Structures are given as C-alpha cells and as structure tokens.
Amino acid sequence: MDNQLSAQNNTYSAIRETVLTAKSKVYIAINFAMVEAYWEVGREIELAIGTRAEYGKGLLKFLSENLTAEFGKGFTERNLRVMRQFYSAFPIRHTLCAELSWSHYRLLIRIVDDARREFYVKECAECNWSVRQLERQTNSFYYERLLATQKSGQGSVRNEIQATEPKVEPDYILKDPYILEFLDLKENKSYHESDLEQGLIEHLQEFLLELGKGFSFVARQKRITIDGDHYYIDLVFLQLHSQMLCAD
C-alpha cells in the first residue's frame, strides 16, 4: 500500500511539474510579446516626436484616444509616455530580457544611472526576482550596499532578500493586470489572500454585525488604477451615508 501511494505521489509530482513548466512558458511568451510590443510603441513615438514637444502633446492625445477605442485599456497618455521612456532607457532591442515582465521594466526605467539599472536587470533575471523583490532591493539600496560590502560577506547580502521578501510562485498567468489589459480579457478574481482577510470573509456576518448597522460588503481585492498604476484594496464596505470603509 505504501509503495502504491509513493508511486501515485511520484506520478502526481511529475505531472504537476509538467503543467507548471508549460504555464511558465506560456507566461514568458505572452509577457515578452507584450514587452516587445510596448518597446516598439515607444520607438515609434520617439521617432515621431523627437524634440518637438508641442507636437508630442497632440500626438499622444490622438494615439491614446484611438488606441483605447480599438484595443481597450492600457493606452492612456501616461502609459504611452512610459513606453517612450522604456525605449529611451533600453534603445537596443536584443538587450531586453524575456525573464522580466512589463511590471519589472516599469520599475527599472525609473533608475536614472545606466550602470545601476544594468546591474538590477542582470540580478533580477539571474535570481528570478519578483516585482516586489526588485522594488524592495532598489528601495533598500542593494546595489550600493553590495558594492560597499567585502567580497566574503556579499553572499549574505545577496541571500537576505529570500528571508525578507520570499518569492511567491504565481498561480496563473491571468492574475497580472497588465497581461489582462494587453489581451483585453476580464480580470481573474482569484488572488492570494492574507490570513486576516480570509478570516473576515469566512466570518463576514459576524464582522458586519460588529461594525454596526448600515454597512454592506462591496468587494474583495478591488482593483483601482491611478495614473496607469494598479493597486488593490483587500476589502471594501459601503456605509449608508455613502462613505467607504476599506480594510487592508
């Protein structure tokens, strides 16, 4: 019986690995197609505008209105400016990394210094950093700390990110809002929840009673977009006085 169970577990593990690998390949393919497309959009805008700032304002407005009408979200004037900035930061197409997502690149183009940016590109690709890990490393001056650390101690500095910000394996490709916008698909609501949020959902009735009369549950993982950047509110409640109460 134990041998049979062991064999079943081995088969399951092999199949699971096959499925995860396939999903990963699909994600990389779609994501890199999006990255290359946005790079090309940025190149076309840069070639069209050049140094003509006034012309650029009108062109971005025209492009945003028409692209949004045809392809949906993702082509605001701000996003088009980000794509142009993306091309300016990475003018050589073949230097783009298939391992990095558009969300990675949106963070990387904020780094002005070329050497510092190239360092984070390399580290991010080689170490398979999530977007959150990349953001934490840049905010904590990882590049500068590593340069200031003796070679014998660099290993501990490199490994600290796994303890402070462990990488979470994505469950499914369509959870990335930028991928959703690019493919013009509806949002998948199955996001990872914190223990607190899950507990509130499981005991929603008791929680609402504690809040008092006049509250109703509106949504969980409510996505809001501010200037092209996506954020999520864990729980949203509505009070009768039209005031919003958010639990995060």
98 closest CA partner among 16, 173, 27, 164: 27
102 closest CA partner among 162, 173, 185, 50: 173
pLDDT digits (tens, 9 = 90+) for 12-69: 888 988 887 887 777 778 888 999 999 999 999 999 998 887 888 889 999 999 999 9
> Rounded distance, CA 166 to CA 111, Å?
23
Higher pLDDT, 125 or 153: 125
* Confidence tier at 244 by pLDDT (50, 70, 90): very low
Question: pTM of the predicted model, to two decimals?
Answer: 0.64
Higher pLDDT, 184 or 202: 184
Strands 244-247 and 229-239, by their bridges, are: antiparallel
138 closest CA partner among 178, 98, 165: 165
Higher pLDDT, 184 or 122: 122
> Rounded distance, CA 188 to CA 202, Å?
20
113 closest CA partner among 144, 136, 87: 144
CB atoms within 10 A of CB 154: 13
> Rounded distance, CA 226 to CA 32, Å?
24
Run of H or E including 22: helix 2-49
Would you give the end-to-end CA distance of the chain in angstroms?
47
> Rounded distance, CA 57 to CA 45, Å?
11
Task: Give residue limits of the domains in the chain.
Answer: 2-170, 195-247
> Rounded distance, CA 221 to CA 187, Å?
11
Cα torsion through 123, 103, 245, 193, rounded to 10: -60
